[in-house]
Every structure is written in structure tokens, then in C-alpha cells.
Homo-oligomer: A and B are copies of this chain.
């Protein structure tokens, strides 16, 4: 039995398993890439304990964190625009001067795939250092077949190079590219007839997303993208009800979407449709904060309807330049009123479900892949309560410690 298959023990830990915090001190044993045992400390016999290599004693273990909504791959940045807005320059004036999302599109189109990988790596490393082991990355700044494929390849390469699972989402319907100004339906044609089939054939997307909003695409246009994705066997999701109620969530529900994301303007019918379809509601407090939104997503209605809530960074160069998932825990509580446990479920179990990974990520249980984090805290709630770096003691991916070291000094 090789070293990687040896049994390893994390002893006397407090465990949040993706759903709840276990009341007793627990022992977690891995065998190779999997969690072999997750038991109360008292139930781990002396022989079993003796057969394990001790990795750590004490602390809190959570599933590896899952960031289920990011736009991490892009070139350039928009700090100058951030500064202009704070000096009083209007969005319209910035857009007229070539700013906004289209400035990111220009920079992303001009960048090579290698450059995209290099520029994105520090952002992904920041998420990894924060405990993320699974991350979704969308395209949507290429807006042409070649540039969208380039973004998706860059995302996949990062997943191969760094110790993190990357899921890719094709978001061609993110904004109208300059070549199609005044002809949005022609761009939707381009997406459905050329881009999507090419993405599917290359096997570069795990899902398909659309931005349904008065500043982006209409429900009818989004529906056409969903039909094309469905024909190709790709699951769908949606940016919906962020700035207005377009009933995008209910539209997505008809296609069995994985999730609807943002949702500040979601109404009761939308909540009901999402519940019926078993969709996840992904909340994005970083964009809410950055855009100084005031209308809250309907948290209590989502709770009452049993819609699982995820929380994500939305990391992107414009509306949420925030690449720190644990900060979103705090913001989801403070801004949206989630309980710390709901917020923690939102970046573990429910985030995995928003990616179609239920049972494969975001939960700790015997037999599951051993992706988890060991934290220098006493109670998982502290992750939501305090914003503080340096608390990640160990990050474990498929049973291998990728951050921190076994703590040889720990008492058995």
C-alpha cells in the first residue's frame, strides 16, 4: 500500500459536514483519496487509531469550500473605472468612453490563452488560500467563438495546474458584442448555431449560463439558448432578477436549471417555480455591496419554500472584484440575514448542488472524496463571524495536504 493510500487521522476535531455541526468531538480517517471513517472520538478503537498516521489534533474541519459562481478568467482590470465612479463620473459616461464590461471584452480578446492563464492564476490562488477546493469559472468576456473557447480552455488549464477542481460554464449570452450592436437576435443565433455546438463538441463546458436582464438579454432570447443547450445535453443556469424582475428564474425552472443567481427581484411565483424544479438559489452579496443595491433577495420566502441557498463570490472585474469566499459568509449574514449555518451550507453542500455535484463535493461523509479544510478556530460559526486571514491550517484535496503540513507535535 503506497503512502498516498495510508490511513491518515485528524483527531478531536469539530466537524461541519456541509449540513450541520456535529455536537461531539470527531475523528476523521482517510484512506487514499477517500474519507474512510467519520466517527465520534470515543468510537475510534485503539487498534484503529494506532493504524493511522496522525495529521492534526483539534480545530474545525469543514468540506473544501465551493465557489459556485465566478467570472475569474479575464484580462486587464477596471481599477481606473472604480476610481472614476467614486469621483462622480456616471456609468453612462464611462461606457461611452469605452469602459465597463466591453473594456474587459477588449482586453480578454487581445490576450493569448497563456496570458489569460497567467493573469487569472493569482485570483484563483487567492481563492485556494481561502479554502476553496471546487470553483466554477464562466466564459463571457470573449463573446466570439474563438475567444469564448480560449477562456474555457484557460479555465480548464488552471484546474489542471493548480490543486482545485474547476467547472466551466459557457456564458456567451453575457453581453452583446460590438459586432452585433442593434442585432441581439443575430448574436443569439450565433450562440445557438455556432458557438454552443463548438463548445459542446470540444467538451469545454460543464453548463450553460445566460444573463437575463434589461441591460443584457430578454427571456425569449435566453429561452433560445436554453433550448440549444438542452439539445446538446448541457445543464443550464441563469443570472436572473438582479436589477429587475424578468421572470428569468421561472423560465429557467422550465428547463430544470441547476440554479438561478442574484435574485434580488425574485417574486413569489419565481420562488415557487424554483422549489418545484429543485433549483438552487445562488446569492451574491459581493455584487449587492459593490453596486450599492438596496432590495434584498427574498430569503424568508426561499427558506419557507425549501429552496437550497448557495453563496458565491461572483468574482469579476466590475460588479464584484472580490476574490475571497469566506468574506461572502460574513456579508451573506450581515447584508442578507442568513444564519451562519445557512451561509456555511451555501459555500459547501448547496454550492456543490448548484454545480450538479451533489454527493461529489461540499459534504463530508464516509466514502466521499477527501476534500476538506482544517481551521484554527473552535466553532465553524467563527468563519462567518470574523474576517481574518491565517485561519486555514490545512487544505486537503483527495486525501493529500496541499496547504499546511502534518503537525508532528500533536498529542495522540
Contact = CB atoms under 8 A, between A and B. Distances in A.
A379 interface: yes
Interface string A286-324: 000110100000000000000000000000000001111
A122 interface: yes
A77 B385 contact: yes
Interface string A13-48: 000000000000000000000000000000000000
A284 to B, nearest CB: 14
A64 B108 CA distance: 33
Interface in A307-347: 321-324, 327, 330, 333-334, 337-341
Contacts of A130: 389
Contacts of A391: 122
Interface string A102-135: 0000000000000000000011011001100000
Given A86-B339, A289-B334, A333-B86, A324 B387 contact: yes
Given A289-B334, A334-B292, A337-B86, A390 B79 contact: no
Interface in A68-102: 77-80, 82-83, 86-87
Contacts of A122: 376, 388, 390-391
A370 interface: no
A382 interface: yes
Kindly report how many copies of this chain are found in the complex they form together.
2
A351 interface: no
Nearest to A76: B378
Contacts of A79: 340, 379, 381-382, 384-386
A83 B323 CA distance: 24
A322 B386 contact: yes
Which one of A82, A125, A376 has the greatest number of beta carbons of chain B within 10 Å? A82
B390 A126 contact: yes
Interface string A238-251: 00000000000000
Given A130-B389, A389-B389, 18 more contacts: A77-B386, A80-B379, A80-B381, A83-B385, A86-B333, A86-B338, A86-B340, A87-B339, A122-B388, A122-B390, A122-B391, A123-B388, A126-B388, A126-B389, A129-B389, A323-B388, A323-B389, A327-B387
A83 B340 contact: yes
A390 B87 contact: no
B387 A321 contact: yes
Interface in A363-410: 376, 379, 381-382, 384-391
